[in-house]
């Protein structure tokens, strides 16, 4: 049985190697990382250091070449694509740099999408969507299409989509990268509120303005971890 | 301007050269569509559109009788009726008559049966064609009956006389008569009402004013085809009005020949309509079907062009941003479309040359004028117009769309998810249209196929396996008294000896004679039933008459249902028997047995002998496989042994293998006697279905092409759409979509279009069903089973075409969602 202080996410010896013809590229090398429930962690580092690769492994979009990944007490590194899709739909919420709303779906349908994949009944979905949109202040835009929204509004819809299913962890990939500073600040405030409400957030960013808002920053350099301000929880 | 067009052409050619896959698929699709249209148009042009090859063909009309009581609308005319038309119809400038007959040519090589015609001496002048060699007939040539002069066709002149011009003026033996050849018709001259398989090759003059009732003076002896030429300015309607008046007068003048109850009247129609009227509906259906194939092809190419235009969006946007004007861009894009259409058209034309030749061979059995099917000037002009129209049709919308790009979006390369709405909608519309049109074609082919299945399943009433059939035509000299087969006894003697000789051939298990083989035309004859007096002889019952040898039923394996088969050797004038078929027995004796009853045949010359019915036999389909059995009676050929008889021989093995020996056996009786029409009964039955087979084959081919093209179209659109949605699919997978979710997403998108197309197609097929109704047998043009079957087939093929891109979509790497586009 997991103790209360057990980490929500535990990576041990994670490596990711890409093979292109005769060239072997080590995107991540022996990463050890533990993230507790309720933590707000930033992953920072220069371009090409492996931030996005690490996020994709955390989000089960990709699998590591080596190492183990335990999410909420379950090993998930070697799951099949179908199993990974199931875990994603239940445990992970994504916020993308480019918002990634689906243009043919309106706000309600966009937020509802992960809930449909999870197989929730219609009524539950509706209630969850309304709650999430209310939380991000966009309930009045529920029938609008993404093209009818500003960039900041689109990203707030993306946040609502990510939190609607109450995932175990929110993964945000440069969530302010496509926004001006005012909208960027609004989105960061929103993430702060979610964290204050108990959400576990892992955010990739290279903007130093926002690093100050997180409790812990994990620095990556050439695929290796160089952590600062870490509680660095030791796990028995 | 020319320079600009040249530049556009060079640019388009370079663009196509750089996209060999796109170019090959597009050109092949267009070649199929344009080639098929060209080939079918060449048939329609030759058969329906090209004027008849006579002087002022629009003035030529055909005259014929209509007997409403008997449902006959194509009754030939008697010589006195011809004289009436000639003298009493002011709208007609002149009238010619022709009586098609067979004759035997017995000189210069093997004896040969020739299709000939005795004609009025003005025949060629009415048609407006003069002989190429020698001279035309003169009024004196017929010598009051049938003249001893002949005009031959160019083809016979070449085949039999080697093109020797000195043949004009020479005498040859035709049906034992010495006939002097006075002229040779030009190459390609055809009798307007001949069949393609039996071209007319000899013409001889006949005096139609001869009033000898034993010759041709009997008003009831309706053996002549009559062709008229309208006076300049006169119309068919005027001629018909005058014929109506004449018909009424004839009814008053000759009430015994034209009793009011019979409903006889003379009718006139344009000669071209008489020649091709029957095949017009089938050809128009094929032309419509092949146009549908081209439409589907155009939809496919338009889809490819739209995709290509999207792919070239950046290039076009840069051109626009640099100041390129829209018209200039459109012209450039349309030049590419037209170049593609021209390449497709050129390849299609090659396909059409091959297809036209094949169609000509296929169509010979039933299409009038099939021998003139060719790629000629009008067909080439049609193809050129087709190239132009298709080039614009599939190129215009993509060009319009591509020439007004959203510069900001394209140049920023930030378009997301699916491509532009108008293009997406257009692609969806094209897929729906393709499916709908393909379903209409498939429904047509399905209906013809099911109809054909029912037709070939029709019981002909006898066993057609291992039966060889052939015909003989005993010579009839102008002075019949001098003929070798002038008397009944002479003819019966020949037939008896021929039968005996055939039966001696090893492998022959039975042989018999019949005056007319199944599916080879009708011989309607009136008869009296003993004890049932009828006041008016014209209103006597009638039925199909077959003259047969007694063992005909055994040889053909026609079951005897009541009584017994015709007694062998007992069929003489003093002891005469008849058999009736089930339909006649039920019509005339309604549940009672006709066995033992007597009937009396009615002949031109008067009443024939009374004959006793000894049995009832199974119905044999005589008219055509799709027509119900006709009432029919059989009497012995010894009563009325005619000049023309057919022989059937049942064999132990392949009947074709015995053909030479059987023909040889008949020729051993009379070496100068040609035997013609030698063919197996199986082939004879197949030929009777040739028209349906032709339509079925072509419509099935077009439907198969439509199915292929539409499935390729659906595949292309779905594959393209899926490739455009890879990022969206990646996002969905990141959000938790599993493989079945992605499969459902793509399949639902594709199948929604397919289902809309199927619904529209079903409605279209239902609405167009009546155009096929006349070509179907034993099945409704709105047969729900056929509709359901073809919709299921098309739906299944469309599902497969959607499944492949859907499978590919499930392999999208969800990592794509983390990348910027």
Question: SS3 for B574-600, per residue?
Answer: CECEEEEEHHHHHHHHCCCCCCCCEEE
Looking up tokens 């078929």 gives B581
A98 touches chain B (CB under 8 A): yes
B237, with CB counted inside 10 A (0-12, 13-18, 19+), is exposed
Q: Do B736 and A89 touch (CB under 8 A)?
A: yes
Give pLDDT tens digits for A130-185: 999 998 999 999 999 998 999 889 999 999 999 999 999 999 998 988 888 888 88
Residue B638 is encoded by which pair of tokens? 């010894």
DSSP B206: B
What residues in B contact A86, CB-CB < 8 Å?
A: 736, 738
Question: Cα(A40)–Cα(A205) distance, rounded to whole angstroms?
Answer: 13
Question: Cα(A233)–Cα(A227) distance, rounded to whole angstroms?
Answer: 12
Q: Do B737 and A161 touch (CB under 8 A)?
A: no
Q: What is the pLDDT of residue B821?
A: 46
Contacts of A230-234 with C-beta under 8 Å, sequence gap 24+, read A231/A36, A232/A34, A233/A5, A233/A7, A233/A34, A233/A36
Q: Do A118 and B739 touch (CB under 8 A)?
A: no
State the complex-level ipTM: 0.88
Chain A interface test: which of B726, B735, B809 (most A C-beta within 10 Å): B735
What residues in B contact A96, CB-CB < 8 Å?
A: 731, 817-818
What residues in A contact B731, CB-CB < 8 Å?
A: 96, 100, 102
Q: Do A117 and B817 touch (CB under 8 A)?
A: no
What residues in B contact A89, CB-CB < 8 Å?
A: 735-738
Determine the distance in angstroms separating the CA of B789 from the nearest CA of chain A, rounded to an integer. 35
Average pLDDT over residues B162-189: 90
A116, with CB counted inside 10 A (0-12, 13-18, 19+), is middle
C-alpha distance from residue B320 to each of B1, B158, B308, B570 (Å): 21, 69, 17, 99
Looking at the whole model, is its pTM more than 0.80? no
Determine the distance in angstroms separating the CA of B420 from the nearest CA of chain A, rounded to an integer. 11
What residues in A contact B415, CB-CB < 8 Å?
A: none
Residue A125 has pLDDT above 80, yes or no: yes
Residue B649 has pLDDT above 90, yes or no: yes
B515, B522 in Cβ contact below 8 A?
A: no
Question: Cα(B452)–Cα(B473) distance, rounded to whole angstroms?
Answer: 34
Task: For residue A227, name the pLDDT band (cuts at 50, 70, 90).
Answer: low
Q: Do B735 and A114 touch (CB under 8 A)?
A: yes
Looking up tokens 């022959």 gives B508
Question: Cα(B774)–Cα(B759) distance, rounded to whole angstroms?
Answer: 25
Among the partner residues B727, B739, B818, nearest to A61 by beta-carbon distance: B818
**Quick one: closest CA in A to B818, which residue?**
A96
User: Collapsing DSSP states into helix, strand and coil, what is residue A68?
Assistant: strand
Q: Do A103 and B731 touch (CB under 8 A)?
A: no
A109 touches chain B (CB under 8 A): no
Among the partner residues A61, A102, A117, nearest to B814 by beta-carbon distance: A61
Give pLDDT tens digits for A111-124: 999 999 999 999 99
What residues in A contact B742, CB-CB < 8 Å?
A: none
Q: What is the pLDDT of residue B605?
A: 56
Radius of gyration of the CA atoms of chain A, in A: 18
Determine the distance in angstroms separating the CA of B417 from the nearest CA of chain A, rounded to an integer. 6
C-alpha distance from residue B257 to each of A125, B4, B228, B245, B254 (Å): 90, 78, 23, 17, 5
User: Collapsing DSSP states into helix, strand and coil, what is residue A33?
Assistant: strand
Average pLDDT over residues B458-482: 86
Q: Which are the contacts of B72, defined by CB distance < 8 A and separation ≥ 6?
A: B65, B66
Residue B306 has pLDDT above 90, yes or no: no
B713, B794 in Cβ contact below 8 A?
A: no
Q: Do A100 and B821 touch (CB under 8 A)?
A: no
Residue B352 is encoded by which pair of tokens? 């059409």
What residues in A contact B741, CB-CB < 8 Å?
A: 85, 117
**Quick one: closest CA in B to A178, which residue?**
B820
B→A contacts (Cβ < 8 Å), by residue, are 416-418, 727-728, 731-739, 741, 814-815, 817-818, 820-821
User: Collapsing DSSP states into helix, strand and coil, what is residue B81?
Assistant: helix
Is B142 or B234 the better-scoring residue by pLDDT? B234
DSSP B77: B
What residues in A contact B739, CB-CB < 8 Å?
A: 81-82, 85
Question: Cα(B713)–Cα(B534) distance, rounded to whole angstroms?
Answer: 69
- Could you tell me the maximum CA-CA distance found in chain B, to the nearest angstrom? 107
C-alpha distance from residue B765 to each of A2, A154, B442, B788 (Å): 68, 47, 9, 12
**Strand intervals (E) in B261-310:** 264-270
What residues in B contact A151, CB-CB < 8 Å?
A: none
Give pLDDT tens digits for B570-623: 555 555 788 999 999 999 998 889 999 999 887 655 678 888 999 999 999 877
Q: What is the pLDDT of residue B800?
A: 92
Residue B525 is encoded by which pair of tokens? 């004859």
C-alpha distance from residue B379 to each of B374, B382, B735 (Å): 8, 5, 59
Residue A107 has pLDDT above 70, yes or no: yes
A104 touches chain B (CB under 8 A): yes
Q: Which of residues 46-85 of A touch B (CB under 8 A)?
A: 52, 55-56, 59, 61-62, 81-82, 85
Residue B234 is encoded by which pair of tokens? 């006169």
Give pLDDT tens digits for B224-275: 999 999 999 999 999 999 999 999 999 899 888 888 877 889 999 999 998 8
**Quick one: closest CA in B to A83, which residue?**
B738
Q: Do A85 and B821 touch (CB under 8 A)?
A: no
Chain A interface test: which of B736, B748, B821 (most A C-beta within 10 Å): B736
Give pLDDT tens digits for B345-375: 999 999 999 988 888 887 777 788 888 888 9
Per the prediction, chain B carries an average pLDDT of 86
Adjacent-strand bridge partners of B98: B119, B225
Average pLDDT over residues B627-634: 89
Question: Cα(B768)–Cα(B781) distance, rounded to whole angstroms?
Answer: 9
User: Collapsing DSSP states into helix, strand and coil, what is residue A93?
Assistant: strand
Dihedrals φ, ψ of A3, to 5°?
-75, 165
Determine the distance in angstroms separating the CA of B323 from the nearest CA of chain A, rounded to an integer. 29
Question: Beta strand A66-71 with A216-221: parallel, antiparallel or unpaired?
Answer: unpaired
Question: Cα(B210)–Cα(B584) distance, rounded to whole angstroms?
Answer: 38
CB atoms within 10 A of CB B785: 11
Q: What is the pLDDT of residue B574?
A: 52
Adjacent-strand bridge partners of A16: A28
Looking up tokens 């009798």 gives B191
Determine the distance in angstroms separating the CA of B739 from the nearest CA of chain A, rounded to an integer. 7
Adjacent-strand bridge partners of B67: B72, B264
End-to-end CA distance of chain A: 13
Cα A233 to the center of its chain, rounded Å: 21
Residue A228 has pLDDT above 60, yes or no: no
Residue A3 has pLDDT above 60, yes or no: no
Task: For residue B463, name the pLDDT band (cuts at 50, 70, 90).
Answer: very high
Q: Do B416 and A161 touch (CB under 8 A)?
A: no
What residues in B contact A117, CB-CB < 8 Å?
A: 732, 735-738, 741
Q: Do B416 and A88 touch (CB under 8 A)?
A: no
Adjacent-strand bridge partners of B172: B179
Determine the distance in angstroms separating the CA of A2 from the nearest CA of chain B, rounded to an integer. 26
DSSP result, B773-817: HTT-SSS-TT-HHHHHHHHHHHHHHHHHHHHHHHHHHHT--GGGG
Question: Which bin fits B199, alpha (ψ -120 to 50), beta or left (φ > 0)?
Answer: beta
Dihedral sign, Cα of residue B730, residue B733, residue B737, residue B742:
positive
Task: For residue B121, name the pLDDT band (cuts at 50, 70, 90).
Answer: very high
Contacts of B106-113 with C-beta under 8 Å, sequence gap 24+, read B106/B173, B106/B174, B106/B176, B106/B475, B106/B672, B106/B674, B107/B172, B107/B173, B108/B160, B108/B161, B108/B172, B109/B160, B110/B674, B111/B671, B111/B672, B111/B673, B111/B674, B112/B160, B112/B674, B112/B676, B113/B471, B113/B473, B113/B674, B113/B676
Residue B72 has pLDDT above 90, yes or no: no
Question: Cα(B276)–Cα(B543) distance, rounded to whole angstroms?
Answer: 29
Question: Cα(B467)–Cα(B662) distance, rounded to whole angstroms?
Answer: 12
What residues in A contact B821, CB-CB < 8 Å?
A: 98
Task: For residue A235, name the pLDDT band (cuts at 50, 70, 90).
Answer: very low
DSSP B422: H
Adjacent-strand bridge partners of A66: A15
Question: Cα(B133)–Cα(B154) distance, rounded to whole angstroms?
Answer: 9
Alpha helices in B312-325 (DSSP H): 313-321
Q: What percent of chain B shows pLDDT beyond 70?
A: 94
Dihedrals φ, ψ of B126, to 5°?
-65, -40
């Amino acid at each position: 049985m997991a103790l209360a202080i057990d980490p929500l996410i535990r990576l041990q010896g994670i490596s990711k190697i890409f093979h292109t013809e005769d060239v072997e590229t080590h995107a991540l090398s022996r990463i050890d990382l533990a993230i507790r429930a309720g933590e707000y962690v930033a992953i920072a580092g220069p371009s090409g250091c492996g931030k996005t690769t690490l996020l994709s492994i955390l989000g089960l979009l990709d699998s590591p070449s080596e190492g183990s990944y335990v999410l909420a007490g379950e090993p998930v590194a070697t799951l099949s694509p179908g199993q990974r899709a199931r875990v994603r739909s239940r445990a992970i919420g994504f916020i993308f740099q480019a918002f990634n709303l689906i243009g043919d779906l309106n706000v309600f349908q966009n937020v509802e999408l992960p809930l449909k994949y999870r197989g929730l009944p219609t009524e539950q979905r509706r209630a969850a969507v309304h709650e999430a949109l209310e939380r991000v202040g966009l309930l009045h835009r529920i029938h609008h299409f993404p093209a009818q929204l500003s960039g900041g509004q689109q990203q707030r819809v993306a946040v609502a989509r990510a939190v609607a299913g109450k995932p175990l962890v929110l993964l945000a990939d440069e969530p302010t990268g496509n926004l001006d500073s005012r909208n960027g600040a609004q989105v960061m405030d929103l993430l702060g509120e979610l964290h204050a409400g108990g959400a576990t957030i892992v955010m990739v960013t290279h903007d130093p303005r926002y690093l100050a808002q997180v409790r812990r920053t994990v620095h990556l350099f050439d695929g290796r971890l160089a952590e600062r301000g870490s509680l660095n929880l030791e796990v028995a | 301007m020319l320079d600009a067009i040249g530049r556009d052409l060079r640019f388009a050619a370079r663009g196509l050269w750089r996209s060999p896959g796109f170019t090959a698929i597009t050109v092949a699709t267009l070649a199929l569509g344009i080639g098929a249209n060209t080939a079918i148009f060449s048939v329609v042009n030759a058969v329906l559109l090209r004027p008849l090859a006579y002087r002022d063909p629009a003035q030529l009309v055909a005259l014929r009788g209509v007997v409403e009581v008997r449902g006959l609308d194509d009754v030939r005319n008697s010589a006195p009726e011809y004289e009436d038309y000639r003298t009493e119809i002011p709208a007609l400038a002149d009238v010619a008559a022709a009586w098609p007959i067979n004759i035997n040519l017995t000189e210069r090589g093997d004896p040969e049966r020739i299709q000939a015609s005795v004609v009025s001496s003005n025949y060629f002048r009415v048609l407006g064609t003069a002989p190429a060699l020698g001279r035309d007939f003169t009024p004196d040539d017929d010598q009051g009956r049938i003249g001893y002069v002949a005009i031959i066709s160019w083809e016979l002149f070449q085949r039999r006389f080697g093109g020797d011009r000195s043949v004009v003026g020479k005498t040859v033996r035709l049906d034992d008569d010495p006939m002097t050849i006075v002229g040779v018709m030009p190459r390609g001259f055809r009798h307007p009402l001949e069949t393609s398989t039996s071209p007319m090759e000899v013409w001889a003059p006949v005096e139609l004013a001869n009033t000898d009732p034993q010759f041709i003076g009997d008003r009831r002896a309706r053996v002549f085809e009559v062709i008229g030429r309208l006076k300049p300015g006169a119309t068919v309607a005027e001629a018909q009005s005058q014929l109506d008046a004449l018909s009424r007068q004839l009814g008053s003048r000759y009430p015994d020949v034209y009793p009011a109850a019979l409903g006889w009247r003379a009718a006139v129609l344009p000669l071209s309509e008489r020649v091709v009227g029957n095949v017009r509906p089938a050809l128009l259906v094929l032309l419509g079907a092949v146009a549908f194939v081209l439409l589907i092809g155009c939809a496919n190419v338009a889809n490819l062009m739209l995709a290509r235009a999207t792919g070239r969006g950046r290039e076009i946007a840069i051109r626009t941003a640099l100041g390129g004007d829209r018209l200039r861009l459109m012209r450039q894009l349309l030049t590419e479309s037209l170049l593609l259409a021209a390449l497709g058209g050129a390849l299609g034309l090659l396909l059409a040359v091959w297809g036209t030749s094949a169609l000509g061979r296929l169509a010979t059995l039933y299409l009038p004028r099939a021998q003139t099917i060719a790629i000629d000037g009008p067909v080439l002009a049609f193809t050129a117009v087709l190239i132009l129209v298709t080039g614009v049709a599939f190129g215009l919308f993509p060009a319009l769309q591509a020439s007004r790009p959203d510069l900001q979006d394209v140049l920023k390369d930030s378009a997301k998810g699916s491509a532009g709405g108008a293009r997406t909608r257009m692609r969806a519309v094209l897929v729906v249209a393709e499916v709908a049109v393909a379903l209409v074609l498939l429904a047509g082919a399905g209906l013809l196929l099911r109809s054909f299945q029912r037709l070939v399943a029709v019981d002909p009433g006898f066993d057609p396996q291992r039966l060889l059939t052939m015909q003989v035509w005993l010579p009839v000299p102008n002075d019949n008294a001098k003929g070798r087969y002038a008397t009944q006894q002479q003819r019966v003697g020949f037939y008896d000896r021929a039968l005996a000789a055939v039966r001696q051939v090893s492998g022959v298990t039975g042989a018999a004679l019949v005056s007319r083989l199944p599916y080879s035309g009708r011989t309607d004859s009136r008869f009296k039933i003993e004890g049932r007096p009828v006041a008016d002889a014209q209103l006597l019952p009638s039925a199909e008459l077959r003259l047969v040898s007694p063992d005909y039923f055994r040889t053909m394996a026609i079951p005897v249902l009541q009584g017994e088969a015709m007694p062998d050797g007992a069929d003489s004038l003093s002891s005469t028997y008849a058999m009736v078929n089930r339909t006649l027995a039920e019509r005339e004796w309604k549940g009672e047995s006709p066995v033992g009853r007597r009937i009396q045949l009615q002949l031109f010359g008067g009443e024939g002998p009374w004959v006793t019915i000894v049995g009832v036999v199974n119905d044999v389909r005589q008219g055509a496989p799709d027509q119900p059995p006709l009432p029919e009676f059989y009497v012995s050929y010894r009563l009325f042994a005619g000049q023309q008889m057919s022989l059937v021989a049942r064999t132990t093995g392949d009947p074709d293998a015995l053909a030479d020996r059987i023909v040889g056996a008949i020729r051993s009786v009379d070496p100068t006697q040609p035997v013609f029409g030698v063919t197996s009964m199986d082939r004879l039955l197949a030929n009777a279905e040739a028209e349906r087979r032709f339509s079925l084959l072509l419509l099935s081919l077009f439907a198969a092409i439509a199915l292929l093209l539409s499935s390729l179209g659906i595949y292309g659109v779905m594959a393209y759409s899926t490739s455009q949605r890879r990022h969206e699919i990646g996002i969905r997978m990141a959000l938790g979509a599993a493989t079945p979710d992605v499969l459902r997403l793509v399949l639902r998108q594709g199948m929604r279009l397919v289902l809309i197309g199927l619904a529209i197609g079903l409605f279209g097929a239902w609405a167009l069903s009546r155009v096929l109704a006349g070509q179907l047998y034993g099945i409704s043009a709105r047969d729900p089973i056929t509709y359901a079957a073809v919709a299921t087939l098309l739906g299944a093929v469309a599902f497969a075409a959607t499944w492949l891109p859907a499978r590919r979509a499930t392999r999208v790497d969800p990592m794509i969602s983390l990348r910027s586009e």
